[in-house]
Amino acid sequence: DAGVTQSPTHLIKTRGQQVTLRCSPKSGHDTVSWYQQALGQGPQFIFQYYEEEERQRGNFPDRFSGHQFPNYSSELNVNALLLGDSALYLCDSSLYGGEQFFGPGTRLTVL
Amino acid sequence: GQSLEQPSEVTAVEGAIVQINCTYQTSGFYGLSWYQQHDGGAPTFLSYNALDGLEETGRFSSFLSRSDSYGYLLLQELQMKDSASYFCAVRDHTGEAAGNKLTFGGGTRVLVKP
């Protein structure tokens, strides 16, 4: 049984570019949440997807958007990248309201 | 708003006991989770308390007092491999049409010395 997977593992972009990160939930899970973790800090909640809709959103600008597909996988898109967007991006998956499991993360570096 | 406070760093020797305290202010509280994160890795789940009291899982125990908005993680018989960052996180939600989300503290870096 595969756990939560994320791709790519690492990514380097330049300011102003756009990036798409991907997350496949654990088998049987239907809810995906995304978090941003800057170096030395705790993860910060970006948003959550359930039934292909954004259900909750943290304090992040509209440059951060997402999508959930019918197979429950999800994408995180960030437009107009800033240096401050450099971070580890984590997704977690759960069966709605249940235990949450994190993926290995995508390390984004913005130059 | 929501906030969690935990110490930034703790140092201890192998075999010792470490307690990491966490105080929180939040709404829609379901429970308090603890995660371990090694450098370069993702957070891994350690424990979850929804009700008051102590939960024991091997060398790690976690405690919650909902009335005091306080919890702690107890690490016993410390080993070198326990050197990592430890995060408390409140599990909550912001509406009926929403599942759980996690609000994390800033993390406590535990350094275990020989």
Whether B95 sits inside 8 A of A50 (CB atoms) is no
Q: Does A27 touch chain B (CB under 8 A)?
A: no
Interface of B with A in 31-70 (CB under 8 A): 35, 41-45, 48
Tens digit of pLDDT per residue, chain B (114 long)? Answer: 678 999 999 999 999 999 999 999 987 788 999 999 999 899 999 999 999 999 998 999 999 999 999 999 999 999 999 999 999 999 886 655 556 788 999 999 999 999
In terms of Cα–Cα distance, which of B5, B87, B72 is closest to A35? B87
Smallest CA–CA separation between B63 and chain A, in Å?
Answer: 18
* HEC string for B13-31: ECCCCEEEEEEEECCCEEE
Whether B93 sits inside 8 A of A56 (CB atoms) is yes
- For A74-99, the pLDDT digits (tens) are 999 999 999 999 999 999 998 876 77
Size of interface A-B (CB pairs under 8 A): 67
Strand partners, B10: B110
For residues B50 and A64, give the distance between their C-alpha atoms in angstroms, rounded to a whole number. Answer: 32
